[in-house]
Structure 1
């Protein structure tokens, strides 16, 4: 199993889910929501090569955690990747948008200065600004747009910009999500759970949801589930090579 975007540290039984991910998954990208959370998760959950824990500053909490920006920029230095970061242009978070932009642009600039990092990026109702920031620092690394919900035109722009896309079962909860999944570039899609926040039928998606994602994409793409699963595995190998992270995906 593989998971390119999971808040593994935020499950109520985080230690148990972490142990399950180590046992069941070839690779899990544990994205954190703040620099302090990154420190705590790295300390409490320990270290295993199958789990990549990365520093981040989620746009939804920037209004409370903006003071942690400098710590984030320090943490990016030795990190293989960064996440979760990005922009949220929805009405609920409009008041913090300029602070979000400062955090995101500063992070992209830092990645650019360091020669590039992989980033797991939140882009809800802010795809244009996300792509503009990435374009400003062309050597930032690799962008993985998680749970992409933009328009068809924005998807085309993101594809042209070289972005990757991580998608999980909860993305198929809506008709719009199903329609967008059909248009995703098949050679740049990797699986995610986005658990515990993402839910299906009221239950949090777990990090070992690859089979469920493959089955849902199979319906969207009109391909056998086994073929989709192999495609997701090959995409994952390619993306991990770009990140510079070595794990064996059978």
Structure 2
């Protein structure tokens, strides 16, 4: 897999989203309770991504947030979140992203965090992450006392999990909220050191794994493993920082 194909995916999704946003977006609630919005931009972007992948790799599987699973028996699977951060998109905020992950027999081998609102694309291929073509690295931060920490929204955690996250929050240097997938991009570029979240689906994190690791970071679940059971994700600038965070979460 080469970077050029991910750049084509970025261009296709951006064009689809741009067309829908120009027409005006309406958030449709797809949650049985609470508010989980989806828009025409989400659906149009996923159709554009699927179309390009299917024309180029007809035998690959695809699992997307909006249109489900195709060719699920294929060992190679694309994981698509056409708009991660739909709430941010409909509020005119720049933190939303197009996420594309590529897995081979469950192993994360490539990924893209595309941030169209700020004209930034991070692509991880062959173990190296680049932003708009230039290699990036994490900060290398190794201790919570020096860490810049982010999570999308503390109110998304169940109470017992929030208590664990607050142990980490009290140990770090500073905390920022509301960045969605942009926070993981900032781990890769060395601007944020630690992200902790839960309740994520595979399409939320599949793209992030290769991007964070390709920049020298560590990403796994709250127990120190890599199954991401329950959607529990910790992304850190270094293995040492990851392990210190996991110890507090436990």
Q: TM-score range by the shorter chain?
A: under 0.3
Higher helix proportion, which one?
Answer: 1
**Larger RCO of the pair (alpha carbons < 8 Å, separation 6+):** 1
- TM-score of the aligned structures, taking structure 1 as reference length: 0.27
- TM-score of the aligned structures, taking structure 2 as reference length: 0.27
